[in-house]
Structure 1
């Protein structure tokens, strides 16, 4: 089952260390009023400056808030960070203002012009305006969860030492292992869309007449109806990845590397030439819709499943052929098919899902990873057996007159009410531009209720 890296990790009793996958999450949500329309209130003044606060910023729209966590090595730490920062945002909102819990946007105004765009630094504003002129407002408004995952530094150091004849620098290890992990997540993106896709419908004024799907789907956002994609990237190596993206910029397909909206992105440097030299530090997974059934838009079990997949891809590998590009192109097509399936229908790739989860179970049992991972796999298998248990399957039951507006407003009110009941008020952003360090954030955010490691 295991590749040579997996066998080396097992032989040297480093499975526990390898399982300590670093994670950080970025959660986008729209600020809305009580009727489910975009808020007309400005960025909350109690949380610093939207252009300089790295932990609570805005995205494409002025009303699109983004909560960013520092990296952590524990599922609960990651989600507690997101929870605490989100509480800070909720308490700073204007009266009758809330956070929209769904990936597809709330009711958009009839006039979708530049007045809706985020206030930002001159460089970011120029980029946002470029997106507006390329795609308009609607295509840029779906929100999601980005999960950043990294391999423990001790594992990188061990692999450098153990495979010293192959790798000369830590960079060589990073640029070897991370593309393998990325390939795994691309290959099984369709399964993640099946399990966690949560954008079955859009509000009536999102699509132009005749442009949207004709029935509820698993994920508009993760399908060709969602974010625009103008070219395929090559994940077989960091060099080919960088070359594809830089050629797309050169050919005018995208304005800059930031406009590459792939489901997985290599991270470590904003300059792709530097990325090749300095090494991939982590990968960004962009294929998760907001989970409207969770206050922080992501469940602990989902994050744990991501950790399990990450460990599996490191120790087992992902692709089964020499032609990585062709295999991943097939996987992309599988994801499109799954994304536009009716949420209550059995998945076209049900047998493949069963086979893969069986391999994951064998992996967990052999390594004795623990009951928490078996619980996650039990949940995954239940959803493969019954599509009504998936997020999109559940949301279909909440649709009224082709809309999730009532459901979204009810959830937004519930989460806002819960947030305002919490006793602790974080004031670390007040009187500053919001640009505080991760350590300052950690020290002031929890007040003894939680102590991230």
Structure 2
């Protein structure tokens, strides 16, 4: 009875042999090197004027060994013996110089495979698809996957003579006219019929069946193959260099439209993408434990750290986010620690809050949920609340986000976000509330739509800036200024759509780290310490950032302390210097790397 290793070796060898026998089929579908500069050839080009072929790369003039080098795939022992033979007699510099379209892998030397067994197969046939930004499309990758599976499915197993026949056909097909049918289309159609039978037995999905049907039709219509499309494009652009330059410019433009994103990880929040980007660059092993929950495992050697949402780590105390989530508790803890906080009143139902309207009438106040983040449910009456209905509406909006709300005094000054990590203020941001600038032509609604077209704006979690909304809060803010969404503001007039300056509600981000007085940076560090947080976002109201802090509300006041503060607005500010705070997160987690 065979061992598991012997079974695995036999399976991999069967796939390898059959692949080498039928590799020409994949070349017919996916080749993309129909021409090359004449200087490529040492002894003059073998191509006739205006001649195109299917694949110069896979032809005898391409990425191949000398024809006399034949390596046996009859057994693993024969593979190792023959490969060592060509290396020992100097025909190959090293085993890695064996340019077979299939190689047996799993050890540094082929001889070691005899002991350990084949761990995987390496397929090396494919030309890069110039029309696909990553060199291959998902549909083509799926077809190749099932084609390789077919090589195991086939009843027969190619022998060494079959392999040599396959190599001969590969050379012939590689030199065919890409706009003409292949000489071996009948064999190719029979193979794909077998593939369709396999898909039926496996109950494969309709998508792969449609892909195989499409490939089947390409035997009759060679103009639909990849190489034929490349030839047509070369002719259209007047040469492969011009075609390549045009494709490169297009790919660059597309890449720079979302320069802030980590390709293939668009489902992650942008802060998490930035952390992953830096972790990969620094040589850390990155594992996504839960994509939806933004949970990562980062590893360097035996050192493992877990990170949630970009900066929630084991360095924070469990109680810290609970304190910061509750704005009432936050204020009490900070007040007890000696920090300036505005006075506030809490309410547990809409009716009691509205009844107390006379207490707040004509006063500048902020109405917000007790437990909130990202500026949700906050309404600011910076010019004084005068209308009872507007007050009631703001109360209702706050209660949508929580069962309790706070109404607190509005502090005069400018709001700044301080990013604190490891006892240092690393970045300071001025967050300008959501706004549009009038042009005397377009309505506020139209101006918002135009501003939202900026490539940095999106959902706010996968883009540096969030699109501006036109909901109840924005309409209340417009009403306070005497506008509606259909109003047409005069040229250069700034129309405020929000009073709170959160980036998550459509605000603009401006880096102010270098301009901020050091005393406020130290205040932010102290506030984070009072919260017990290793990473904290502190919001301060400051009338004049150039003057040193004084111990009273007219000098500065704490609005909020936030757990899991956004990092992307510091990394990708709307205006100003980028602060790559994700590197500081990694430096905190892995001090042995000396990242900073």
SS across alignment from 1:283: strand
Contact 1:183 1:318 in 2 (8 A): no
Contact 2:29 2:225 in 1 (8 A): yes
Measured in 1, the distance between the counterparts of 2:153 and 2:28 equals: 24
TM-score, structure 1 normalization: 0.58
Equivalent in the alignment of 1:356: 191
Given candidates 139, 146, 151, the residue that maps to 1:313 is: 151
Measured in 2, the distance between the counterparts of 1:419 and 1:308 equals: 31
Contact 1:201 1:403 in 2 (8 A): no
Measured in 1, the distance between the counterparts of 2:210 and 2:149 equals: 17
Given candidates 169, 178, 192, the residue that maps to 2:12 is: 178
Equivalent in the alignment of 1:206: 40
- Say yes or no: does 1:410 pair with 2:246: yes
- Say yes or no: does 1:420 pair with 2:268: no
Deviation for aligned residue 1:248: 0.6
Measured in 1, the distance between the counterparts of 2:218 and 2:101 equals: 22
Deviation for aligned residue 1:264: 0.4
Measured in 2, the distance between the counterparts of 1:414 and 1:363 equals: 39
- Say yes or no: does 1:437 pair with 2:272: no
TM-score, structure 2 normalization: 0.44
Measured in 2, the distance between the counterparts of 1:235 and 1:438 equals: 37
Measured in 2, the distance between the counterparts of 1:192 and 1:381 equals: 12
Deviation for aligned residue 1:228: 3.4
1:228-268 deviation per Cα after TM superposition (whole angstroms, max 9, x unaligned): 31212111221111111111100101111111111100110
SS across alignment from 2:111: helix
Deviation for aligned residue 1:420: 1.5
Contact 1:181 1:318 in 2 (8 A): no
Deviation for aligned residue 1:375: 1.1
Equivalent in the alignment of 1:261: 99
User: Which is richer in helix?
Assistant: 1
CA separation of 1:396/1:440 partners in 2, compared to 1, >3 Å: closer, same or farther? same
Deviation for aligned residue 1:384: 1.1
Measured in 1, the distance between the counterparts of 2:187 and 2:207 equals: 23
Give the number of equivalent residue pairs: 280
Structure 2, unaligned runs of 5 or more: 263-273, 299-308, 311-460, 463-596
Measured in 2, the distance between the counterparts of 1:432 and 1:296 equals: 19
1:288-334 deviation per Cα after TM superposition (whole angstroms, max 9, x unaligned): 000111111111121111221222222334536xxx11111011100
Equivalent in the alignment of 2:418: none
Equivalent in the alignment of 2:564: none
Equivalent in the alignment of 1:395: 230
Given candidates 75, 78, 81, the residue that maps to 1:240 is: 78
Measured in 1, the distance between the counterparts of 2:19 and 2:27 equals: 11
Measured in 2, the distance between the counterparts of 1:207 and 1:402 equals: 21
Measured in 2, the distance between the counterparts of 1:310 and 1:234 equals: 20
Q: Which has the higher contact order (CA 8 A, sep 6+)?
A: 1
Alignment of 1:183-198 (within 5 A): 183-198=17-32
Equivalent in the alignment of 1:381: 216
Contact 1:196 1:390 in 2 (8 A): yes
CA separation of 1:312/1:265 partners in 2, compared to 1, >3 Å: closer, same or farther? same
- Say yes or no: does 1:223 pair with 2:59: yes
Alignment of 1:114-133 (within 5 A): none
Deviation for aligned residue 1:211: 3.4
CA separation of 1:317/1:266 partners in 2, compared to 1, >3 Å: closer, same or farther? farther
Measured in 2, the distance between the counterparts of 1:268 and 1:260 equals: 15
Contact 2:280 2:286 in 1 (8 A): no
SS across alignment from 2:18: helix
Deviation for aligned residue 1:339: 0.2
Deviation for aligned residue 1:433: 6.7
- CA-based RMSD of the aligned residues comes to 2.6
CA separation of 1:413/1:273 partners in 2, compared to 1, >3 Å: closer, same or farther? same
CA separation of 1:432/1:347 partners in 2, compared to 1, >3 Å: closer, same or farther? closer
Alignment of 1:292-303 (within 5 A): 292-303=130-141
Max radius of gyration: which structure? Answer: 2
- Say yes or no: does 1:369 pair with 2:204: yes
SS across alignment from 1:265: strand
User: Which is richer in strand?
Assistant: 2
